[in-house]
Amino acid sequence: MGKPYVVGIDIGGQSTKLGVVDARGNIIIQTSFDTRDITTLKGYMDELEKTLSRIINAPAVGGKEKVKGIGIGAPNGNYYKGTIESAPNLKWAKDKHGNPEVVYLKKNVESALGLPVVVTNDANAAAQGEMIYGAAKGMKNFIEITLGTGVGSGIVIDGKVVYGHDGFAGELGHTTSVRRTGRLCNCGKVGCLETYASAIGVARTARELLEIEPQRPSILRNIPADEITSKDVAEAAAKGDELSVDVFSYTGRLLGEAFADFVAFSAPEAIILFGGLAQAGELIFKPTVQAMEDNLLSIWKGKVKVLHSELPGSEAAILGSAALAWEL
C-alpha cells in the first residue's frame, strides 16, 4: 500500500498554513502560525520544522512513514529550483539590509524533515489543486485566475502547469494589453491588470468614481474614502447601489477583455476564478463573461467557460499546495 498522506503548506506574508491531506482531499489535521514577528530565515525554519513535526507525528497521521511528500505554495516560489526569490512581503526572506534574497526552501525543508519537497507559487498551487480536487477535474486545458490582493494565474496545458524556462511563467496579472497607461503597479510597470482587477484595484476604482462624481449618491459615502474595501463595494452593490454596481461593471469589462487575450494564447476549456473577489458572484462574473465574449475571435465564442473555483475557501491554499506533492 502506498503512503496515504501528503502535506500542504501555504506561505503568506502574515501567516503560514499547514495541513495533512489524504488522496480524497480530506484534511486530516491542520494548523497555522503567525509570521509577522519572524524576521530571520533561521527563526522561520525553526518554527516551520517544529509545527510540521507536530502535525506529522499526530496520532491521526502516524508519522512521516505515512507521508509521501510536502507541497509548498509561496510568493515567488520557483518550481524548478525549489526557491523563493525576491518576495518583498516576507520579512524573514530578506537580508540584513532589508533586501529580498533567495531562500533555498526545498533544500532546507528536506534536510529538516527527511521528506521530498516541491515548491511553486500560490497561483500555480491553486491550479494544481483545482485539477485534482476542484472545478477542473477532468480538464487538461484551463487557466486559474486568483483574484485577491493581487491578480495571479496558473496556466494548465495538456494537463500540466506551465512554468516556462525559469519557473516563473504565468504572470497574467502583470499583462498590460488592456491598459498601456494608467495606474502604477507595485511591480514597477504601468497599467497592469492587477491594478484594476484586484481587491485593491476595485476599492481604488470606487474611490475614483466617488471623487469624479461628487453629487452622485452612494452608500459608500458613509465610509471614509481611504477605508473603503472591495468587500464594502460588493456589499453596497448587492444592495443595489448604482455606483458600486458600476465599479464591478468596469472591473469586469477590463477582466473580460484580458481573458479574451488569454484565450487567444492557450485556448482553454475554462477560466476558473478563485479568491475573495470571485465571491462577488454575478456582480463580477456577468460583466466579465460579456466582455470576454465581445472580444473573442469567432472560433472561440461560446466555447470557453468562466467558472467559480470549487476549492473550499478556508482550506483551498492547503489543498492546492498538497496537490503538488502527489506527483513526487
Average pLDDT of the residues in 175-179 = 73
3-state secondary structure of 230: helix
Give the domain CATH number at 288: 3.30.420.40
Domain identity same for 160 and 252:
yes
Tell me what pLDDT residue 186 has: 80
pLDDT digits (tens, 9 = 90+) for 210-233: 999 999 999 999 999 999 999 999
Same domain, 170 and 303: yes
Q: In this structure, are 142 and 116 located in the same domain?
A: no
Residues 267 and 228 in one domain: yes
What residues make up the domain containing 204? 137-308
Does position 168 have pLDDT exceeding 80, yes or no?
yes
Q: What is the mean pLDDT of residues 254-270?
A: 97
Same domain, 274 and 143: yes
Tell me, yes or no, whether 23 and 89 share the same domain.
yes
Given a contact cutoff of 8 angstroms between Cβ atoms, the answer to whether 315 and 19 are in contact is yes
| Shared domain check, 171 and 47 | no
Looking at the structure, do residues 152 and 295 belong to the same domain, yes or no? yes
| Count of structural domains within the chain | 2
Average pLDDT value over all residues in the chain: 93
Set of cell numbers at residue 288: 466579465
Confidence at residue 314, expressed as pLDDT on a 0 to 100 scale = 65
pLDDT of residue 311: 87
What Cα–Cα distance (Å) separates residue 219 from each residue in 222, 234, 241, 307? 6, 11, 7, 30
Please state, in angstroms and rounded to a whole number, the distance separating the CA atoms of residues 257 and 10.
Answer: 31
Give Cα 112 to chain centroid, integer Å: 27
Would you state the pLDDT for residue 97?
85
Band of the pLDDT at 98, cuts 50, 70, 90?
confident
